[in-house]
Each structure stands twice: as C-alpha cells, then as structure tokens.
Amino acid sequence: MKLRTLAWVALGLVLASAVPLAITHRARREASKDEVALQEQLRLARAEGLPTNAAEYAAMIPTAAPSENAASLYRRLSWHETFSDMVQSKGAHRSVGFKLSPKALMRKYSNDLETIDKAVSLPRCRFDRDWTRGPAELMPEYHEMDSAAKLIAIRGTFAAVRGDVRAALADAQRIFRIARHAREEPNYIAHLVSESIYTLGLKRLAIWGLWRRDIPAYREAVKKALDAFPRPDLRAEHREDLYHALWLADHSLTTEGRRDIGIKEEDIPVAAKAMAHLFDQTKSRIKIVQWQRAYWAALDRPAKERGPLLAQARQQVMIALLAFPPAAEAYSWSDYDDWTAKREPAWEANRQMCVALLRSLDGPVTPSSIKTDDLLSPFNGKRLEYRFDGKVITITVSGGGYPFRVQVRPLGIVLQ
C-alpha cells in the first residue's frame, strides 16, 4: 500500500512539473511560428514597395550631391508673411494695392529673393533628415518653400504689372521648380505642399493674363503648365505609412520612446493600459503589416471604391495598435484616409478651375460665360460654375465636402 501511494505521489510530481514545461514549450513554439509569420509579412511588404524601417525608407529617396542640392538654401529663408498681409483693397474691391512700394518690398526681402533664385537654379532638393525619428521628425522646410513660392509670386506680379513679360514668366517657372523640389521626398506633406505651390503658379499666370489680355504669352504659359500639372502619386505619398506604424509600436514600449511620440504617461487612459494586456504584441505586429499592405493595395483602386477599403484597413491597424496604447493614440491623430480617398478628385477639381481660368483668357474682354459642359465635378457630376459680375470672376466645383472655389479680379492691381 505504501509503495502504491509513493508511486502515485511520484507520478503527481512528474505531471506537476511536466505540464508547465509542456505549456512553456508550446508557448515558445507558437511565438516562434508568430515570428516567422511576421517576417514573412515584412518580406511581402518590401516586395510590394513598402519600406518597413527607416533605413529602407531613406534608401528609396535619391541622393543629391552638395553641388546640385538646394536643400540648405531653403533652410536659410526667413520670409513668412502671406500675400494678404501685404496688400490692401482699393476702389470698392475693384483693384488691389500693396502696402509698400515694389522697390521697398523687393529691397526688404532682397536677401531671401537672392537665396531663392540660387535654390531654383539647382536641379535637386534632398534634405538631410533623421528618418529614425519616424513621424516625430519635423519638416519645417516645407513652410519655407511655400513662403518662397509666394514671395516669388509677388515679384512676378510686379513684373507683370509693369509690362516685363519675360521676368514674370521666369518667376512663374521658378514657382514650378520650387514645387518640383518639394515633391522629391516620398511623403504626404511634401506632395500636398508641392501641389499647392504648383497651383499657385498656375493661378498667378492666369491672373497676369487677365490683367494683360493683349499678351498671348501668358495664356500659352498657362496651357503649357496645365499640361504638365503632376497628378497625385498616392504610392509615394503613403510610402512611409507602414514604417511609421511600426515605429509607433516600438516606441510605445519605453518611457523615452513615448516621450518621442509626444505622449505623457498620464495621457494614456487606464482602460487602454488594461486592454494592452489582452493582445499578443507579435500577433498585433502581423496585423499591422497585413492591414497596411491592404491600405497600400487599395491606393490603386478606382477613387469611388477606394474610400471604404482605406477606412477598413485603417480601422484594423488601429485595433492592432491597441496592444501598444500610446501608439494607437498617436496613430489616431493622423486620420487622413478620407482625404486620401478624395485625393485624385480634389486634384481634378483644382485642374478644372485652372482650365476655366484659361478659358476666361479667350477674347479681348473677360467673358460672362465659358464652355463648361466638359468640366464636370469629380464629386457629383455637376457642371463647374463660372460667374463674372463685372468685377470678380468666381469659379466653383461643387460636391467636395467643402468649397473648391477661386475668385480673381481681372481689373488689375495698383502700384503705389
């Protein structure tokens, strides 16, 4: 009896030690399988053109020799006023005048203008950035480039008013070069700034043409620039998305990393911290990569189909990031999938407004109407609206959720 009891006790001890070992072994095997699955997802992402870390992303940006790189010049700029800061209305809004004389303005910003002229003479623009900082890396240069384009537009405006067509057209080309420089980095902000700058150049050319309808060179320049208007490159604009999501996940795990993200410990809800323990982080990383790949694939879908696919992919990435609470919070700040779904229609709306401006240049006087039956809103299919009330041209594309509208005064500008 004693032997039998001892045998059962021995068996119990063996089982008591074996079960945890078996559980541990199984957990390790599952973890190993998950790691293999994660590496496979990362491999697929790279094969599809999605960088998975800072080094891979940086390698996709063409390098530029110092002798051909305009980046350092843009960083020297100090001009930050807007066009509206510098003008005042005259004659019941029939014309616009500058608060300073052209000579005074050009003298005030002569150093910046000289720097900009040097920058646009160079073929490349490659900023030296620390991509290991992920979405925490600031890009103030795009504000400088936008300001540079506006300052050049003002100088071109002075040239157009005084009849120096060659100088005005040259400044329009400088604006387009700034736009091309801004577009060299494959990220969302860079491309939006580039498009805004290019549109500025188009509209300035058209306005100069309205002021000087007797000079066909402006109309020809508008047409040529419209033909070259770069279409949105959604893949380039979202090439950083996966590596940014993984960066957020990694940096949410340490105090220093959370500081880089910009989130304090007290900013993380207690419920979010508790939920993090319900998720396996490796499995969550797999989901992040899978759904960022789905987002990437959806960018190639027709615009009408793209929105729901982008929203679904983004929602699933958000769920996966719940395993990393600060990352989920930071990721929610960059909610731009709805705008991405409308990215190409918005570009088309801007293009149509510029086409309407081009058509308003036909004939010896500003027309009260133009051909619009081929200018249909990419949002709702309605015709573009063109109105001229004798003072102001108003052009509107409807259905975009907010007004796509441009207003110009073809009666000119007054120089003091």
Q: Is residue 415's pLDDT more than 50?
A: no
User: Cα(191)–Cα(197) distance, rounded to whole angstroms?
Assistant: 10
User: Cα(153)–Cα(205) distance, rounded to whole angstroms?
Assistant: 9
Res 335: pLDDT: 58
Percentage of the chain modeled with pLDDT above 70: 82
Q: Is residue 3's pLDDT more than 70?
A: no
User: Cα(413)–Cα(127) distance, rounded to whole angstroms?
Assistant: 37
Res 91: pLDDT: 42
Q: Is residue 60's pLDDT more than 90?
A: yes
User: Cα(140)–Cα(201) distance, rounded to whole angstroms?
Assistant: 21
Res 100: pLDDT: 67
| Close Cβ partners of 161 (under 8 Å, ≥ 6 residues apart) | 211, 412, 413, 415
Res 332: pLDDT: 72
What confidence category does residue 10 fall into, taking pLDDT thresholds of 50, 70 and 90? low
DSSP annotation string for 163-191: T-HHHHHHHHHHHHHHHHHHTTS-SHHHH
Q: Is residue 328's pLDDT more than 90?
A: no
What confidence category does residue 243 fall into, taking pLDDT thresholds of 50, 70 and 90? very high
Res 278: pLDDT: 77
Mean pLDDT of 245-258: 88
Percentage of the chain modeled with pLDDT above 90: 65
| Close Cβ partners of 270 (under 8 Å, ≥ 6 residues apart) | none
Locate the domains of the chain by residue range.
2-47, 58-236+343-353, 243-332
Higher-scoring residue by pLDDT: 301, 99: 301
Q: pLDDT per residue over 175-215, tens digit each? A: 999 999 999 999 999 999 999 999 999 999 999 999 999 99
User: Cα(361)–Cα(346) distance, rounded to whole angstroms?
Assistant: 23
User: Cα(16)–Cα(31) distance, rounded to whole angstroms?
Assistant: 23
Res 171: pLDDT: 99
Res 303: pLDDT: 83
Q: pLDDT per residue over 133-153, tens digit each? A: 999 999 999 999 999 999 999
Higher-scoring residue by pLDDT: 99, 209: 209
Q: pLDDT per residue over 252-305, tens digit each? A: 888 888 888 777 777 677 766 666 677 899 999 999 999 999 999 999 998 888
Q: What is the DSSP letter of 212?
A: T
Instruction: Give the strand order in the sheet containing 393-397.
Output: 385-388, 393-397, 404-408
DSSP annotation string for 64-133: --GGGB-HHHHTT------GGGGEEEETTTTEEEESS-HHHHHHHTHHHHHHHHHHHTSSB------GGG
